[in-house]
Amino acid sequence: MSDATTLLPPPEPLRIGLVSISDRASSGVYEDKGIPALQDWMARALHNPVTWVTRLIPDEQDGISATLRELVDVERCDLVLTTGGTGPAPRDVTPEATLAVADKVMPGFGEQMRQISLRFVPTAILSRQVAVIRGRALILNLPGQPKSIAETLEGLPDAQPPCPGIFAAVPYCIDLIGGPYIETREAVISAFRPKTARRPQRT
């Protein structure tokens, strides 16, 4: 470890809300895989110490919106990630519930998620993931499958041409809305910030 790294202040603590939205998983029909997949990827990607606030809930629009409001307004999460409920089926209402709590809509995240998924299946255009800002928190809808979650967050660096993951833009977005400084592990994901917004990098 270099002297410069040793002298850096510790990474700022981060509160992350994780919401898995599934009728069957929430009723115990099968084991939820969304929250463990999100925690596994975040643990590998972040230097920051994380406090996790998790929820496993059914596909009910009012309940999803209430959960998102609770995580941001009461639990004070800096980042909220949802998984599940973003397709075209009648019970898929996560995007509507997310938009209902939004102060601002961030359409670029959803556009990039679909670009990544389109590298694999043409039905990616049926996905309706959205991203919004509420207060000082960013809320992101992610896919339901663990493999797709990792691909969406991390991108496809070995593809031709490479396809950036959405998490590269998350730390600077959190900066801009007044949240903690998120530090990523370069081996997993490289956060992009303008030079004027960067702090010394941890190895």
Task: Show me where the domains of the chain are located.
Answer: 3-197
pLDDT attached to residue 202: 86
66 backbone dihedrals φ, ψ, rounded to 5°: -65, -40
Q: Which of 117, 42, 119 is nearest to 86 (CA)?
A: 117
User: Sign of the CA dihedral 124, 133, 202, 10?
Assistant: negative
pLDDT attached to residue 30: 82
Whole-model pTM: value is: 0.94
* CATH H-level superfamily of 3-197: MoaB/Mog-like domain (3.40.980.10)
Residue 30, both tokens: 């099968």
Residue 159, both tokens: 């593809």
Q: What are the tens digits of pLDDT across the range 88-130?
A: 999 999 999 999 999 999 999 999 999 999 999 999 999 999 9
Cα separation, 161 vs 71, whole angstroms: 37
pLDDT attached to residue 1: 47
Single-letter code of the amino acid located at 127 = S
Residue 21, both tokens: 């939205």
Does 3 have pLDDT greater than 60?
no
Give residues with Cβ within 8 angstroms of 126, minimum separation 6: 87, 88
Q: Whole-angstrom distance between the N-terminal and C-terminal Cα of the chain?
A: 8
Does 52 have pLDDT greater than 90?
yes
Q: What are the tens digits of pLDDT across the range 149-203?
A: 999 999 998 888 888 999 999 999 999 999 999 999 999 999 999 999 999 988 7
